């Protein structure tokens, strides 16, 4: 069994142009990595972010030994060393250290080290400052093109955007295209988070919704009012940082209200949640999604999963395997479909992408824009011997849509089609 990408691309297009389904998006860190062109400013990958933070930390000699020892501890457990595993290691030590020392650091030192890491994370994701300082044109952000699609799409129900990202990229895109949106905050002098408005699905019914489920730059907890307020971003931003504690943090307000919103959306009839840039690494989000799918027969989640692995900027395989977390989740629940770059899990079946026939010019969708077909093969798959002079077309290849930039291009193509139809009807 294989999955035909042309069928799924057509199905996705029909889903997005139809007004029958309520549509929401869940966007993860991968969407902040997406480039529209060479002038785009992006949030670096977790690997590059980790290297930068480690370089900054090593400038303070008292952390050098501790950082090196923690790296060895993490790698000895066959875990990836990155800013998330580093923060998790530090937080675990803070909980058990007491009055003693670990990695030559005491509790206060670990508190300071954790504070430094979180400060660096905030600075790295604050790319809006770079955009202002370097006078970068917002048209170079792929998020602006995504906002344009939202502004042009004619839907009975507004689009809802859930994102784990702290940065302002989606806000910048929506504001650039003059798209009104609601993010749960009310007020002018010191806007505060209004949890009751999150619970009511009809609150501000016609506006796009932007739900930042791990917090955002500019969110602060005001001790006087005991409210989460929004103002200029600084060192006290109220965020869920990537670490072992994020599951517990997600149970606090306002995060509980935002996660409830995700659950309640999926519990509505005829809903589709499309994910992109999300790797299913957050158990508290996965749990909410699966629980909601189990209680609603008409909901569906379609995950565009960019799973290409890179090592030293060289391709090193694909993350979507039969035993990977997304595959296990999708095989256990047929209402969750995972579209990886090389393979997919659809209807509970894991298999590779393969076209049933060669595309031709009369096809309604130019599949080659979204699926890169492998070159002709001269190998006999059954016996593993060369088929002399008899090269074959395999139909196998790589799906582009899990790349957020390519997905937005896909959305833009529908805008162009609408424009052409409008021009024709006006002639």
pTM for the model stands at: 0.89
Task: Classify residue 385: in a domain, yes or no.
Answer: no
Task: Classify residue 392: in a domain, yes or no.
Answer: no
In this predicted model, what pLDDT tens digit does every residue of 98-112 receive, in sequence order? 777 887 788 898 899
pLDDT mean over 24-51: 93
Same domain, 111 and 243: no
CA separation for the pair 255, 105 (Å, rounded) = 32
Same domain, 36 and 52: no
Same domain, 154 and 298: yes
Same domain, 182 and 232: yes
Task: Classify residue 336: in a domain, yes or no.
Answer: yes
Highest mean pLDDT among 183-187, 343-347, 387-391: 343-347
Domain residue limits at 112: 46-127
Same domain, 408 and 343: yes
In this predicted model, what pLDDT tens digit does every residue of 151-184 receive, in sequence order? 998 888 999 999 999 999 999 999 999 999 999 9
Same domain, 305 and 263: yes
Task: Classify residue 421: in a domain, yes or no.
Answer: no
Q: What percent of the chain has pLDDT over 70?
A: 92
Pairing of strands 397-399, 371-373: antiparallel
Task: Classify residue 361: in a domain, yes or no.
Answer: no
Same domain, 230 and 274: yes
In this predicted model, what pLDDT tens digit does every residue of 307-354 receive, in sequence order? 999 888 889 999 999 999 999 999 999 999 999 999 999 999 999 999
Same domain, 64 and 210: no
Boundary of a domain, candidates 61, 92, 127: 127
pLDDT over threshold 60, residue 193: yes
pLDDT over threshold 90, residue 271: yes
Same domain, 26 and 73: no
Same domain, 245 and 170: yes
In this predicted model, what pLDDT tens digit does every residue of 408-421 receive, in sequence order? 999 999 886 655 54
Task: Classify residue 384: in a domain, yes or no.
Answer: no
In this predicted model, what pLDDT tens digit does every residue of 45-59 receive, in sequence order? 998 999 999 888 888
Boundary of a domain, candidates 102, 127, 152: 127
Same domain, 21 and 71: no
Q: For the ranges 103-107, 269-273, 299-303, 387-391, which has the lowest average pLDDT?
A: 387-391
pLDDT mean over 58-64: 81
Q: Which backbone phi and psi does 305 adopt, to 5 degrees?
A: -110, 100
Task: Classify residue 174: in a domain, yes or no.
Answer: yes
Same domain, 10 and 55: no
Give the count of domains, the chain: 2
Boundary of a domain, candidates 127, 150, 175: 127
Task: Classify residue 66: in a domain, yes or no.
Answer: yes
């Amino acid at each position: 069994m294989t999955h035909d990408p042309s069928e799924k691309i057509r199905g996705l297009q029909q889903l997005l142009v139809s007004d029958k389904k309520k549509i929401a998006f869940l966007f993860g860190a991968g969407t902040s990595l997406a480039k529209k062109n060479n002038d785009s400013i992006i949030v670096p990958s977790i690997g590059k972010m980790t290297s930068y933070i480690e370089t900054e930390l090593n400038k303070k000699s008292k952390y050098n030994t501790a950082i090196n020892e923690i790296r060895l501890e993490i790698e000895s457990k066959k875990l990836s060393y990155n800013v998330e595993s580093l923060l998790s290691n530090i937080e675990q030590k803070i909980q058990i250290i007491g009055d003693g020392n670990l990695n030559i650091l005491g509790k206060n030192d670990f508190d300071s080290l954790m504070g430094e890491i979180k400060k660096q994370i905030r600075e790295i994701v604050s790319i809006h400052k770079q955009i202002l300082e370097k006078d970068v044109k917002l048209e170079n952000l792929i998020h602006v093109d995504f906002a344009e699609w939202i502004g042009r799409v004619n839907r009975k129900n507004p689009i809802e955007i859930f994102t784990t990202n702290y940065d302002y990229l989606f806000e910048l895109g929506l504001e650039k295209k003059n798209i009104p949106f609601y993010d749960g905050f009310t007020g002018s002098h010191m806007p505060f988070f209004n949890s009751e408005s999150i619970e009511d699905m009809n609150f501000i019914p016609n506006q796009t919704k932007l739900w930042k489920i791990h917090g955002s730059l500019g969110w602060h907890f005001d001790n006087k009012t005991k409210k989460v307020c929004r103002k200029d971003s600084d060192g006290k931003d109220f965020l869920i940082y990537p670490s072992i504690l994020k599951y517990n943090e997600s149970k606090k307000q306002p995060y509980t209200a935002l996660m409830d919103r995700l659950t309640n959306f999926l519990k509505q009839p005829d809903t589709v949640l499309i994910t992109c840039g999300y790797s299913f690494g957050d158990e508290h989000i996965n749990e909410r999604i699966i629980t909601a799918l189990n209680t609603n027969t008409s909901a569906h989640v379609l995950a565009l999963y960019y799973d290409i692995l890179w090592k030293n900027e060289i391709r090193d395989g694909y993350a979507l395997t039969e035993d990977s977390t997304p595959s296990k989740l999708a095989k256990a629940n047929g209402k969750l479909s995972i579209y990886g770059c090389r393979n997919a899990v659809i209807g509970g079946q894991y298999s590779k992408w393969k076209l049933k026939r060669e595309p031709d010019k009369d096809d309604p969708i130019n599949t080659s824009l979204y699926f890169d077909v492998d070159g002709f093969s001269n190998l006999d798959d059954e016996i593993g011997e060369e088929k002399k002079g008899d090269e074959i077309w395999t139909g196998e290849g790589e799906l582009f849509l899990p790349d957020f930039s390519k997905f937005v291009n896909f959305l833009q193509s529908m805008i162009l089609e609408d424009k052409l139809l409008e021009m024709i009807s006006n002639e």
